[in-house]
Structure 1
Amino acid sequence: MSQRRFRNIGRYALAACAVSLGSASLIAQTAAPSGTNPSRADVFLGYSYMGNHGVVKPSNIRFSSVDVGAIGSGAYYFNKYAGLEVVAVANPDGQNDGFYSGYAGPIFRAPMQNFTLFAHGLAGGIRGGGPNSEVPATLEHEPWTWGAGLMVGGGMDYDLPFFNHMFGIRLFEADYRYTHLNYGPATTIPTAGNLGGRANLGSAELSSGILMHFGHIVPPPPVTYACAVTAPTGTIYPGDVITVTGTATNLNPKKDAAYTWTSDAGPVAGTSNVASVDTKTLSAGTYTVKGHVSQGMKPGQFSDCSATFTVTAFQPPTVGCSATPSTVNPGDPSTITANGVSPQNRPLTYSYSATAGTVSGNTSTATLQTTGVAPGTITVTCNVVDDKGQTASQMTTVTVSAPPPAPVVTKSLCTITFDKDKKRPTRVDNEAKACLDDIALSAQRDPQSKLAVIGSSEPTEKMPDHKAAERAVNEKEYLVVDKGLDASRISVYTGAAGTKSSATTLIPVGATLDMTGLTPVDEAKVKAVPRTAHMAHKKHHHKM
């Protein structure tokens, strides 16, 4: 069973080695690293399990597995994919044996974004002791001796995202180790426990541990430096303080950077990537600021930049002028606002003048008084002057409007009632003549006006809407026939007064009748009743 177990472990180790070798070879040939800069050197320290399969011949004493061991290796890479590796393994505490091994040889890797596959083939020397003789049990193991060995395998590493990817984890390393040991001539009479003989040992070794990376295959890109004037924005005038900002790329975050500045404009203040230049003594012109950043004296560790700025001579102020409101009634004030701007922020003084009215104020706002001003347009001038005597002016206008005309309104005239004649409740009787005469007189005085006759009824009347309409139509008939008014000037409506009445409203030109609660009368359906109809009826009844 022990021999079969070793054989299986050996097969698994060989399969893992084949997969690692094949994967590393294929990726190295067909795929470049994705966004990686592989390390120049790796150091590995970890745990090792050594599953041994073999015997010392001719005594056929078996080797046992070593469950606890340590492994360490150092690899130096010539490029992204190939390098040399040195491996030391200590498996000192087997059940009846122990081994100390050292190997060297080529190593190949396939670096990816976070993982690296590797494979190696190494040769070296092994110092092995044991195994113990099983019969008799009192014999000691074979003495420690040196032999030759081969180591072939591979594995997978994972880079940790800490400390700039300096550390990693070797997820697994699977190797097949071949060992040849010669314990001397074989004998059946051991001396000091030594039976002698030779061993050709095949071992499957599994390892895992911590990986440390040093250096990089691809050298860091050279430092670059760009600088620009970041303040003030826009035009620069004497007295402005210029801020220049340098932006360095590809700096080593583990090293401090030194910054220096010079300028043909005079002294530059600043020891970081930001510097300032005072322009108060400068004349109009263009100047240059130069910056230098350094992390060492080697090429690629320093860089220079330059930025230019132009100082412009002082410019005169500008001013905007506005009025709120821009149209006023006679006697109403208007607020004048002057928006003065000095390009170099010089102090400004304000003054105002107007073609009519009076302006009071000497700040950025003033008040125009229009008392006694006739309707028309007033021109207001806003003036500013800076402390160097440079001036600017701007004008605005205020319109004084004419007084608005009095509003044209309707006029309610007299109202006639229809509650005297019970038999003819819609007839215009003689008592209404005085009111109707006044209505006709009002209409004749204003020949452009119109009349609105509004008839009403009591809710208890039969067909109240019809009676209200007849009252309005009968009044219109009287005004047209008896008073000679133009029928086109009179409109008839029904209203909601709730009484047996007819009200009249005079509508001058420009006025509008309030139609709330009014309904136009269809004069094609409601006809006027003559005032003499009752008398004719009485005569006819007497003859009967």
Structure 2
Amino acid sequence: MSLGSQAHRRCASLALVLTFVVLLLPSLVSAQDEAPPKVDLFIGYQWLNPGGTVPVGSNPPFQPPPPPVPTKLPSMPIGYGVTGTYNFDKWWGLSIDVGGNFQDLATESTISVGPRFMWRGENINMFAHTLLGLNRLSPKDVNSSNGIGAVLGGGIDLKIWKSLSFRLIEADYVLGRHNFADVVPITESHLRHPVLEGARLRTGLVFNFGGGGKEAPVAASCSVDHNEVMVGEPVHATVSASNFNPKHTLTYNWSSTGGKLEGKDTGASIDTTGLAGGNYTVTARVSDPKAKKNNEASCTSNFTVKEPPKNPPQVSCSASPTSVQAGASSTISCTCTSPDNVPVTVGGWTATGGSISGSGNSATLNTTGAPAGTVTINATCTDSRGLTASSTASVTIENPPPPPPQANKLNECQYPNKMKPWRVDNTCKAMLDDAALKLQQDPEAKLVVVGNADPKEKRKNLAAERAVDVKAYIAGGEAKQNIDPSRIETRTGNEGTMTSEQWIVPSGATFPEADSTTAVDETKVKAIPDHPKPAAKKAAAKKTQ
């Protein structure tokens, strides 16, 4: 591969790289918002590698000119470039480009028109353009060819000052299509219509005309959410910056002539706790650390702090419940507020009876040991300035209700008669008369009779018979007590003794041994008369019937 071909490829690659840089870098770096010039004019040096093989003639003395010879054009280090661009806005412009390069074997010149895209930074501009126009090639001793040409590429400009920039580099792909059919034989078709695919490099000065209007001065405006506040109330301040570069991050500094200030970005909060009444000023300073000039603005806003009137707090207390039995407790709750909206606390709890304990807005009254009657509880509310107010609540202590009625075992009958182990003897009858008297004295009470039997006693249902015999005696026995049988309940127990137990159960009480005894089925177990009729007399009576 020839040196010219290598140079051509490198230059074309550089042009493509510059184009990608111009298109992609703006998304990574902040742009400048300054108005662009109306017109910019580039004048500078141009190097060209034509990138093609063309017919080159010769003119020997005293001989007819020979046919042109295919010649690979070498690079042309002598050249010039001029580009004038009218800018529609900060991004787009229309360019007219003129360039020319010279070499012993040929001369190539271009004139092209097309759009240009430019990204404008703080001190650097990058552009890409696509141009179409005329490509004129003049090989040695061959008629010149005016062909269709195109230029694709881009470059980088460095700002020197507002009206002048330095074009660090411009790299372009240069295309030219030519026709030498009038001088090249038809047998050499590739030489009759050669295509130049060249690369050019430029550097020079860019002159800027018009545009770039004077920057509007940066400004800041401050405001507060409340122009007047009471001592202790916060003040919120905000700042709005204008005419700064929106691509830059701004720095905000806050200060205040009073209060505790906490500022962040465009907002600040001033704590007025402890401030004396009066007028105060909050100041915001906004700066752009990236801008070299016109980069700082400040503003202020005023607010007034008023001392509140010293009104005492207001407190009210209530008890829940308001009535308790001795030994129970009640919760006392107090609500305390300040008309001046200052902090308040509740304390100083006292009570005329029982004991009181609590913290904050509630306390507990313990009435253990307190006599029946009304107990007054007092609490004091104090604000942050020492002003106080008191309130009371009352709790009524009631005597405890009488204990619930209890069943009690009245007496217990023994059954010593081995012949009639069910028989209610006179000793037992006296006890049962006492039980009947209790039932007569308390019409709401009932009697529970629990019959027991010794395990050695083999008679079936003996415990139940003892219970039903007791019931039969009380309900209609010799003493004619005539107690309603429905008030007498018969049960069997497991004491393992030859006894019956008589329990008086008042109204509202329960029999305590219900779970350990069993109710008697009186449809199966009947009372045994104390003096049953002889069996013979029963039989004779049946026969006479």
Looking at structure 1, the residues matched to 504 and 328 of structure 2 have their Cα atoms a distance apart, in angstroms, of 36
Among 295, 311, 315, the residue aligned to 2:311: 315
Which of 448, 452, 457 aligns to 2:448? It is 452
Amino acid aligned to 1:106: P
Question: Identical aligned pairs, as a percentage?
Answer: 27
SS at match of 2:439: helix
Per-residue deviation at 1:485? 1.5
* 2:467 alignment counterpart: 472
- Give the CA deviation at 1:410: 0.9
**What's the CA shift for 1:490?**
1.4
Tell me the distance in 2 between the aligned counterparts of 1:432 and 1:363: 66
Provide the secondary structure at the position in 2 that maps to 1:433. helix
CA contact (8 A) 1:261 1:268 kept: no
Q: In the superposition, relative to structure 1, how do residues 414 and 308 fare at CA in structure 2: closer, same or farther (>3 Å)?
A: same
Q: 1:146 to 1:540 in 2, by over 3 A?
A: same
Q: Distance in 1 between matches of 2:489 and 2:86?
A: 114
Deviation at 1:402, TM superposition (A): 0.9
> Would you say 1:436 and 2:435 are equivalent positions?
no
1:106 corresponds, among 115, 126, 129, to 115
Alpha-carbon displacement from aligned partner over 1:321-354 (angstroms, at most 9, x marks no partner): 4568865555888787767665565798965676
Q: Aligned residue for 2:389?
A: 392
Alpha-carbon distance in 1 for matches of 2:483, 2:533: 26
Residues 280-320 of structure 1 show CA distances to partners (whole Å, capped at 9, x for unaligned) of: 56549x98857564548999986868586763333322335
**How big is each residue's C-alpha offset from its partner over 1:387-437, in whole Å with a ceiling of 9 and x where there is no partner?**
867442222112212133123211123344668557x76565666434433
Equivalent residue, structure 2, for 1:401: 398
**Could you say which residue in structure 2 is the equivalent of 1:378?**
375
Find out whether 1:200 has 2:202 as its counterpart: no
Does the CA contact (< 8 Å) of 1:376 and 1:400 recur in 2?
A: yes
In structure 1, the partner of 2:270 is 276
Does residue 238 of structure 2 align to residue 246 of structure 1?
A: yes
Deviations 1:205-240, CA, capped at 9 Å, x for gaps: 9xxxxxxxxxxxxx99x988675569xxxx9544x3
Structure 1 Cα separation of the partners of residues 354 and 428 of structure 2: 62
Q: 1:18: which partner in 2?
A: none
Do the aligned residues in 1 keep the contact of 2:411 with 2:431 (CA within 8 Å)? yes
The answer to whether the Cα contact below 8 Å between 1:351 and 1:362 also exists between their aligned partners in 2 is no
Partners of 1:337 and 1:416 in 2: CA distance: 61
The residue number in structure 2 matching 1:506 is 504
- Residues 288, 400 of structure 1: CA spacing in aligned structure 2 closer, same or farther, 3 A cutoff? farther
SS where residue 440 of structure 1 aligns? helix
Find out whether 1:412 has 2:434 as its counterpart. no
Partner of 1:537: 535
For residues 521 and 134 of structure 2, the distance between their equivalents in structure 1, rounded to whole angstroms, comes to 127
Amino acid at match of 1:484: N
In the alignment of these two chains, the number of paired residues is 423
Residue type of the alignment partner of 1:246 = T
Secondary structure of the 2:534 match is helix
Given that 1:455 and 1:493 are in contact with CA atoms closer than 8 Å, whether structure 2 keeps it comes out as: yes
Label 1:279 to 1:498 Cα distance change in 2 as closer, same or farther (>3 A): closer
Q: Where do residues 27-38 of structure 1 align in structure 2 (5 Å cutoff)?
A: none
Between Structure 1 and Structure 2, whose CA radius of gyration is higher?
Answer: 2
> What SS does the corresponding residue of 1:516 show, helix, strand or coil?
coil
For the 8 Å contact 2:379–2:392, the answer to whether it is kept is: yes
**For 2:484, which of 483, 486, 502 is the aligned residue?**
486
Q: TM-score, normalised by structure 1?
A: 0.52
Q: CA deviation at 1:476?
A: 1.6
Q: Is the CA contact 1:283–1:313 (under 8 Å) kept in the aligned structure 2?
A: no
The correspondence of residues 245-394 of structure 1 with structure 2, limited to 5 A, is: 245-246=237-238, 252=246, 254-259=248-253, 273-274=267-268, 276=270, 278=272, 282-283=276-277, 291=284, 293=286, 295=288, 311=306, 312-321=308-317, 329-330=325-326, 356-357=352-353, 374-384=371-381, 390-394=387-391
**Corresponding letter in the other structure for 1:454:** V
In the superposition, relative to structure 1, how do residues 302 and 317 fare at CA in structure 2: closer, same or farther (>3 Å)? same
Deviation at 1:480, TM superposition (A): 0.3
Q: Deviations over 1:490-518 (max 9, x none)?
A: 12345555666543321112212343245
- Structure 2 counterpart of 1:528: 526
- Asked if structure 1 preserves the Cα contact closer than 8 Å seen for 2:114 and 2:131, the reply is yes
In structure 2, the gaps of 5 or more residues are 1-29, 37-48, 57-66, 76-84, 99-107, 119-127, 154-171, 186-190, 200-214
Classify 1:503/1:242 alpha carbon distance in 2 versus 1 (closer, same or farther; 3 Å). same
Q: Is the 8 A contact 2:220 2:240 kept in 1?
A: yes
Residues 79 and 490 (structure 1 numbering): CA distance in 2 closer, same or farther, change over 3 Å? farther
Q: Distance in 2 between matches of 1:176 and 1:509?
A: 122
TM-score scaled by length of structure 2: 0.52
Q: Which runs of 5+ in 1 are unaligned?
A: 1-36, 42-49, 67-74, 89-98, 110-117, 130-141, 155-173, 188-196, 206-218
Q: 1:59 to 1:241 in 2, by over 3 A?
A: same
CA–CA distance in structure 2, aligned partners of residues 434 and 502 of structure 1: 14
